[in-house]
Amino acid sequence: MKKKHSFVSGDKYNRWFTRPVGDTEKLVIVDGQIWDHIISSLPSDYRLPDPVTMRVLDQALRELEAKVKE
């Protein structure tokens, strides 16, 4: 028997991402069964990308922007 997929709006999974999605990303459709399986295997406080990585990237971006302005 072929498995039935359930497609849902990607914003259902916003809580798993460090930054909220914008209006364009809300149009993303994902397979709910696959994402539910992924989410059920992660710790409840898991975020993509993790907040430490985001802070490092944000700092690097600020430094790059400052150098470009020089």
Q: Give residue-wise pLDDT tens across range 45-66.
A: 888 778 888 889 999 999 999 9
Q: Using DSSP, state whether 29 is helix, strand or coil.
A: strand
Per-residue model confidence as pLDDT tens digits over 5-56: 677 777 777 777 777 666 655 667 788 888 889 889 988 888 877 888 888 9
- Residue tagged 């914003």 (tokens): 11
**Residue 1 amino acid letter:** M
Q: What is the pLDDT of residue 61?
A: 93
